[in-house]
Structure 1
């Protein structure tokens, strides 16, 4: 292939990728809206024609406006009102889609049991609507509430006796965003300050938006109390929202931004390395100087000391194992946030939530997250503030 042909081929390949991506998104949107439309309005319900027509018009309008609202809310100038509408709509349609699929399985079972339409289809429709409504109301309450405290003990072989019982409070994925949660943020800090933390850690995805837009929601973090250290690393969402500005802002709030670096804390003569790496998406973000670098994070650290590493995604555990980290703290997964999305999360991440062991030395604790992303719902995936107590042996 000549140089000219190669130059001409590149735009064609990009155009092909864009077309495939657009086709995939279109297919997903049509499926998400189409299954509930068919289940609730068509199928064998035999609703009056006016009901079917009116419902169909609403569905078509939702399908047509949803992409525009998502773009307006999450790209360019990021209109918060559009993000609130589209995010809520996404959560509602996901729950309706999930339970419509399950409802159609129930429809088959009822058919085998001899129940005929329209009774069979109307029973399924009523059940899907009722279950979805209950789950959405409950899921909204769960998303907006101050998280419960989840208490975990982790034993580390190299932990010195004076550090036995050290308290680490972990928050992550606060996702300060289009819904103003400044009061929620302050209440989260109030709960954290009742836990008498030695170390407080935030493992990223602090906000969806620039510092200038989310400053009020993040402000209560300045009031977090910790006896030894407050430490923070970037998540993938920082790389949509001015990562370096968030690093600098967290430092201004009094937090140690562990941007591929470490600090050492000491109690009673025993020491612990607190290290952090950038999110794994950092290198591809184009933000100068940002990339996950375990070697840089641990450069100069005493190899005999226990290491607690902050890394946003559980998938970064490979680097922790390779560098003999004792405990990695992560978030990112949200525990799936809205069931059954956790099945998709597990295709990308080695762990969904909780404590797990990797290799001979390394343990990983994955939080379900303190806030929520996008849809203001949490279904079968409660948020958490985690109190981790380190023990010897």
Structure 2
């Protein structure tokens, strides 16, 4: 894997945030709740260990044997999600406590400053910590259940310009951002395949970020896709995580599984007298990640096609839809990448950053559907952004 300056800076900044976050949790959960040195020492050890696991989560598993590495990875991702909600809980409840104290001081106005009651302060600190832990347990438990529970099925109908009447009602099943890896494995994939087959789509597409790991480790889990059934087969385009995991090796492995990999090219779907073009491009961000020779190239993908024909574009990221896909006359683009934020409050952040964050968008006669993803990345949490399988029905 190649490391860009941007990825290195991101890694450094995130590790600083992780360390500061664990220091804050130590202060609120251990230092403020008791004075006993053994309790505080235990807090230092625990927060230090968890911070180390999280900051080393990218490279430490690569130094460990297989099953041990998987356990460390799982612990890292689970704790990351819990830590986010624990921080939110402590910050929110602590903020309310400080606001209440400030209002009380305002009401007292010119009254003499009260004597600080250390026992009361410690009681409030314990109450805040306990409430934050309880709230975190509830939200995180729901998020884990939703992440591993079968994805919801979202059905949308899209009028595709130029689609022959004979193909009216043609259905495409979209999977995206499955992220097969340490947490998502064969059992999850078998269930997803069963869901897809029950939808009886005419075609299945996978819009990138299928894997988080090498072929040698994940081939068994991904192999469940060989059991997908549809009239016109299964098609795949790369996402940014394929480049982290070996995009060329995975392209070859998926081809052996009977999946058609579209790397900046198009194919004709349908019968000789009634068909449309399925166009696939490599990931938009591959160039910035150090793979300019294997990145998004819509010009190459549509070379030689009749622009008057109906077209569906598979592109992992919604970036470039207006600037490139619309300009090229693509009637529909299917994307993923954003996860819809995956879990609160990141769904709000993603909505603010991405113009097309999740769902169906239209401009003129063209549409783009951005999937929230079928699996998850990182923390096994789905809160306010459930995973989905999308069934798109094309209308003439």
Q: TM-score range by the shorter chain?
A: 0.7 to 0.9
Q: Distance in 1 between matches of 2:366 and 2:62?
A: 37
Matched, 1:355 2:344: no
Matched, 1:321 2:311: no
Match 1:281 to one of 280, 285, 289? 285
Q: Distance in 1 between matches of 2:351 and 2:63?
A: 27
* Counterpart position of 1:41: 30
C-alpha deviation, 1:52, in angstroms: 3.4
- Residue by residue over 1:109-146, the C-alpha shift from the partner in whole angstroms, topping out at 9 and shown as x without a partner, is 43356597344433322221111101111111111222
Task: Give me the CA root mean square deviation.
Answer: 2.8
Q: Distance in 1 between matches of 2:127 and 2:228?
A: 51
Which deviates more from structure 2 when the two are superposed, residues 50-59 or residues 215-224?
50-59
* Counterpart position of 2:343: 338
* Counterpart position of 2:109: none
C-alpha deviation, 1:354, in angstroms: 0.5
* Counterpart position of 1:71: 59
Q: Distance in 1 between matches of 2:150 and 2:304?
A: 39
Matched, 1:29 2:18: yes
Please tell me whether the aligned partners of residues 361 and 367 of structure 2 are also in contact (alpha carbons under 8 angstroms).
yes
C-alpha deviation, 1:23, in angstroms: 5.3
For the structure 1 residues 256 and 133, does the alpha-carbon distance in structure 2 shift closer, same or farther, using more than 3 Å as the test? same
Which deviates more from structure 2 when the two are superposed, residues 31-40 or residues 180-189?
31-40
Matched, 1:93 2:83: yes
For the structure 1 residues 75 and 135, does the alpha-carbon distance in structure 2 shift closer, same or farther, using more than 3 Å as the test? farther
Matched position secondary structure for 1:202: strand
For the structure 1 residues 64 and 198, does the alpha-carbon distance in structure 2 shift closer, same or farther, using more than 3 Å as the test? closer
Matched position secondary structure for 1:228: coil
Matched position secondary structure for 1:281: helix
- Residue by residue over 1:80-133, the C-alpha shift from the partner in whole angstroms, topping out at 9 and shown as x without a partner, is 233222222222212212222222222234335659734443332222111110
Correspondence list, 1:116-155, <5 A: 117-155=121-159
TM-score, normalisation: structure 1: 0.87
Correspondence list, 1:244-323, <5 A: 244-266=248-270, 269-286=273-290, 289-317=293-321, 318-323=323-328
- Residue by residue over 1:193-222, the C-alpha shift from the partner in whole angstroms, topping out at 9 and shown as x without a partner, is 011101111001111111111110011111
C-alpha deviation, 1:33, in angstroms: 1.6
Q: Which runs of 5+ in 1 are unaligned?
A: 1-13
Matched position secondary structure for 2:58: helix
TM-score, normalisation: structure 2: 0.86
Matched position secondary structure for 2:283: coil
Q: Distance in 2 between matches of 1:42 and 1:241?
A: 42
Matched position secondary structure for 1:209: coil
Please tell me whether the aligned partners of residues 160 and 366 of structure 2 are also in contact (alpha carbons under 8 angstroms).
no
Matched, 1:371 2:375: yes
For the structure 1 residues 153 and 112, does the alpha-carbon distance in structure 2 shift closer, same or farther, using more than 3 Å as the test? farther
Matched, 1:235 2:239: yes
Matched position secondary structure for 1:315: coil
C-alpha deviation, 1:36, in angstroms: 2.7
Which deviates more from structure 2 when the two are superposed, residues 45-54 or residues 244-253?
45-54
Q: Which runs of 5+ in 2 are unaligned?
A: 106-119
C-alpha deviation, 1:184, in angstroms: 1.3
Please tell me whether the aligned partners of residues 308 and 325 of structure 1 are also in contact (alpha carbons under 8 angstroms).
yes
C-alpha deviation, 1:285, in angstroms: 4.7
- Residue by residue over 1:266-309, the C-alpha shift from the partner in whole angstroms, topping out at 9 and shown as x without a partner, is 25933211101000122345558411110111111111112110
Which deviates more from structure 2 when the two are superposed, residues 374-383 or residues 267-276?
267-276
Q: Distance in 2 between matches of 1:383 and 1:198?
A: 22
Match 1:201 to one of 191, 197, 205? 205
